A and B are shown apart, each in its own frame.
Chain A
Amino acid sequence: MRASRALGLSPRAAAALGLFLAVMLLLPFLVNAYIVSVLVVVLFAAYFGQSWNIMTGFAGQLSLGHALYVGLGAYTSAALFVHFGLTPWLGMIAGMAVAALAGSAIAALSFRFRVGGVYFALLTIAFAEFTRILFDHFGWVGATEGLFLPVANLAHDDPVRLRGSPVMFYYLLLVLSLAALVLSHSLLDRRVGYYWQAIREDEEAARALGIDVFRYKIAAMALSAAMTALGGTLLAFYDNNLYPDTVFAMGRSIEIIIAPIIGGLGTLFGPIVGAFLLTGLGETMTNLSTYFEISGLKQWFYGAALLAIVALQPSGLWPWLSRALGLWERRR
């Protein structure tokens, strides 16, 4: 609403962000292939968290079924590629459209009948699960047998067909996450961002102001779903195999929401900070878990991290961290 606030970055914050970006750009040259593959997982978590954050963090509508949009994006683009050789860049757009449509339909159905809060969250789980089962029987995309993409030639990166090494995906995800950051920031500063905040804080008050609550909630859902689907396409072409039970897994929906909650729900940098901390340490835990032959260390760690955040710093790590470092002056 007010351009004067511009980016809201203090010189110190701008320097910190620049430094962070520079490190991220150079990182693949400095670390081994394993670390790069971990960083890819981190960036996926960051980007999915950013996408989810728009709907739940900004507009306040709790989705516990975002795996649905990951899956729709992944399957749409992969199936179009496998069956028609369509470039994933177009398949990606198709996937985003499908996801946005699905998200809007679910939102419209729920909000039309005044399903909100916990019941809405349950409904998002239901739709994700229902779609997973549907895909289990969807022969054209391989059903439970899975859908496979031709094996990538790791020696030669082909960004046009999204075939290539983890390093290529690393950079693509970095750009994507940065784009999501810029988009989120610009949305928060616009009318729509203020309306989402109003809806999140007090839906009745928003309605009393004459905000078309229904429309803005659907917009949040559609955008969040489309962004998630875009990540889904990258995931499909990174993993090269898709099974309904892993792509649409309930566990994925939960993993998507943990990073932004730990990092700071509704904040710009929260999902990114949360992803680095959580996925980074989570991966370490998985390794320790293998090394010491104790299973489930990662899950324990996620649980402990969530408990600690809820108990000690419920608004997330980022608001606290940015205050402590004197990086961020604005409130969001």
Chain B
Amino acid sequence: MLEIAGLDLFYGDAQALDGVSLSVAAGEIVAIVGANGAGKSSLIRTVFGMERPHRGSIRFEGREIAGEPPHRICNLGIGQVAEGRQVFPNMTVRENLEMGATPPRARAGASAAMARVLALFPHLSERRRQLAGTLSGGEQQMLAIARCLMGQPRLVMLDEPSLGLAPVVAEEVFRVVRELNRRDGLTLVLVEQNVVQSLTLAHRGYVLENGRIVMEGGGAELLADDRVRRAYIGL
């Protein structure tokens, strides 16, 4: 579904991505793990068209999308839940969700999508008239995910969805991710510092270090790897 090959990204002289290649098959959860500053967010931003790569190709469902602007990429069926949640605090939950139906492709089915999303997140449904800024951190993260689903994406990229959340709440976010994958067959790319949980959840994973992919494999397989355990789990 998503094929990335030889991706280079520079911020000025600093190289953020160095020949990154990876692939995501339909129906998969793929985790990209790595330390702070390894290039995880840069990778997501580049796929979504927020950064322009200097070299390399990004193909989504066979179509080259490198260099396309975000609103086009979004309309092709890629959704992004950015780091730090980014809900609109002064809009209600419902308005935030309506904003998610932005890509022209998703507008016709917006009310059906709304019903589906509210059923999926009963907690949000109860609070749909409330201002998003009054929600707890976990609820805001759920709202960010729900809002992304309103765009009816086939591939969703989540950037640090568990960041700053209490462990129990993070657990809940991961549960939602698993359910979206199992029940709706949604393809997900998960960028996380929470290595154990994301690799447990993912079918496959990549380890990113200084902008380079240094390891790849099945989620459980990576989790059992000594180097991964030493570097990221502290065992």
Contacts and interface: CB of A to CB of B under 8 A. Distances in A.
A205 B91 contact: no
Nearest to A212: B71
B3 interface: no
Nearest to A209: B102
Contacts of B81: 208
Interface string B62-104: 0000000111011100001110001111110001001110110
Contacts of A1: 95, 98
A201 B85 CA distance: 13
A106 interface: no
Contact of A209 (B50, B74, B90, B95): B74
Say which size band chain B's interface belongs to. Answer: 20 to 34
A210 B95 contact: no
B99 A209 contact: yes
A205 B88 contact: yes
A201 B100 contact: no
A239 interface: no
B206 interface: no
Contact of B100 (A202, A207, A209): A209
Contact of A197 (B50, B71, B91): B91
A212 B98 contact: no
A207 B102 CA distance: 10
A196 to B, nearest CB: 12
Contacts of B71: 207, 210-213
B48 interface: yes
Contact of B151 (A198, A204, A205, A209): A209
B102 A202 contact: no
B147 interface: yes
A212 B88 contact: no
A221 to B, nearest CB: 18
Given A209-B147, A210-B103, A194 B90 contact: no
A201 B89 contact: yes
Given A209-B151, A210-B71, A204 B86 contact: yes
A210 B88 contact: no
A331 interface: yes
A213 B71 CA distance: 8
Contact of B70 (A198, A202, A208, A331): A208
Interface of A: 1-2, 194-195, 197-198, 201-202, 204-205, 207-214, 331
Interface of B: 48, 50, 69-71, 73-75, 80-82, 86-91, 95, 98-100, 102-103, 147, 151
Pick the 4 closest A-B CB pairs, nearest first: A210-B74, A205-B86, A212-B71, A208-B82
25 contacts: A1-B95, A194-B91, A194-B95, A197-B88, A197-B90, A197-B91, A198-B88, A201-B88, A202-B86, A202-B88, A205-B82, A205-B88, A207-B70, A207-B71, A208-B80, A208-B81, A208-B82, A209-B74, A209-B100, A210-B70, A210-B71, A210-B74, A210-B102, A211-B102, A212-B69
